[in-house]
Amino acid sequence: MQNPTVPQSNNLGPRQQLAARLKACPPKEAAELLAATDAPLAFEALAELNPSFTQDILRALPDERRQAIIDSAAPELARQWERNRSFEAGTIGYFMEPTYAMFRPEMTVGEAIEKLRTLVKTVFITYGYVTDPDHKLLGLVTMRDLLFAEREARLADIMLRNVFVFRPGMDVSEAMKLSISRHYPVYPVCDEQGKLLGLARGQSIFEARAFEITAQAGSMVGVDKEERISTPMLRSFMFRHPWLQLNLLTAFLAGGVVAMFQGTIDQLVILAVFLPVLAGQSGNTGCQALAVTLRGITLGEITSGDSRKLIAKEGLLGALNGTPIGVVSGIAMYVIASAQHSTHALMLSLVVFLAMVGACTISGISGAIVPLTLKRFGTDPATASSIFLTTATDVVSMGMLLGLATILIVW
């Protein structure tokens, strides 16, 4: 596999052209593209991709086709791909790369350099790894140490011990948090017994997580993670339309709340002016809480004991933000009602104030509860969360405004 960081020529060869096309497709479409591709070319193109995306494509291929491509791969990479398949998507083990630069502790610096001269012609080497006969990781050797050490020195004498490693079952979000404070280009991956299983590049970790993060914005409104710019129109329609039908159903719920208070609106038509104001402000409050909660879930910052604290915090923030907004809105209602010579101007302003504070409070709580609930039931917390949140904020804001007006003024 070539160094992925080396700039490619503008005149791309078949391998690079195919890799570029695969990158622009979701895994299922990429697998369909490889169905009619020669196995050796398919292998070369897959070797150019992020290992995590490569595994997604391999899993989407029929068994016979997948095996043909793996059989065409270089032995080390083929073994690594087979090993990675045993781990779940989203874990470090899912996208490990082979370890080529492995040495014995008794080897000299000169012997290691001669071995590296051959390896660097075909693969990108960052560190050398010192292992025992059972492949247990003993230490790490940097290129700088090899450059300045005496050629007769043993690797056991110059290697770095107590190397930081990842476990193959570690979630990518947890690995990303740990790597942020270390900034190593490559991390060895070892099992519980210390056996070296492969390597995880920092670049690959962040690329894998970056795609999940970029997909969140679409997932929140029902856009499937697999949809790309190149996705055919009919498939995009099938991805999106069911969620729009769900959104329509939830919109009917908000409309039903308004219909319940039709008599109140008939008597106090001015309330209709403030329905979108409350819905908009409470919706923004909920979206702020939703964004913070999703970020915390993505980065692994929210543990089981933090959920209640987060919900309480977002509810309090909603109340604090809703209070000054409610004051301004209440004053606006008083001015408008007074200009229309309404005998309920003061009471209407109080209704708007109370409704705004209550709606923002509930919206903040909902913004935290929706993704946490989806995660608890094993669903992607970003999946259509915005649709559910919008329904909650619309129903609560409109219900509070019209309900309080009915109780305090109409009755």
Mean pLDDT of the chain: 84
* Same domain? 60 vs 172: no
Residues 177 and 251 in one domain: no
202 shares its domain with 270? no
Domain count, the chain: 3
Listing DSSP states for 177-242 in one string gives HHHHTT--SEEEEE-TT-BEEEEEEHHHHHHHHHHHHHHHHHHTTT--TT--TTS-HHHHHHHHHH
- Please check whether residues 270 and 147 belong to one and the same domain: no
Residue 210 has pLDDT above 80, yes or no: no
In a domain, 386, yes or no: yes
Euclidean distance between CA atoms 378 and 398, whole angstroms: 31
227-275 pLDDT, tens digit per residue, is 666 667 787 777 777 777 877 887 788 788 888 888 888 888 888 888 8
The reply to whether 34 and 62 lie within a common domain is yes
Q: Which domain holds residue 188?
A: 102-217
pLDDT value, residue 371: 86
For the ranges 155-159, 169-173, 217-221, 225-229, the maximum mean pLDDT occurs at 155-159
Q: Does some domain include residue 96?
A: no
Q: How does pLDDT run across 272-305, given as a tens digit for each residue?
A: 888 889 888 888 898 889 888 887 876 667 776 7
Per residue in 341-400, pLDDT (tens digit) is 888 899 999 999 999 999 999 999 998 998 888 888 877 776 667 778 888 888 888 889
Kindly tell me if the per-residue pLDDT of 209 is higher than 70. Answer: no
Q: Give the model's pLDDT for residue 5.
A: 38
Q: Is residue 91 part of a domain?
A: no
73, 139: one domain: no
**Based on the number of CB atoms within 10 Å of its own CB, is 205 exposed (0-12), middle (13-18) or buried (19 or more)?**
buried
Question: Per-residue pLDDT averaged across 138-163, rounded?
Answer: 94
Residue 380 resides in a domain? yes
> Which CATH number covers residue 372?
1.10.357.20
Locus of tokens 């690329």: 207
- Claim to verify: residue 197 and residue 251 sit in the same structural domain: no
3 lies in some domain:
no
Q: Where a domain ends, among 51, 86, 121?
A: 86
Q: How many Cβ atoms from other residues are within 10 Å of residue 262's Cβ?
A: 10
Classify residue 71 as exposed, middle or buried by CB count within 10 Å of its CB (0-12, 13-18, 19+): exposed
State whether 246 and 392 are in the same domain: yes
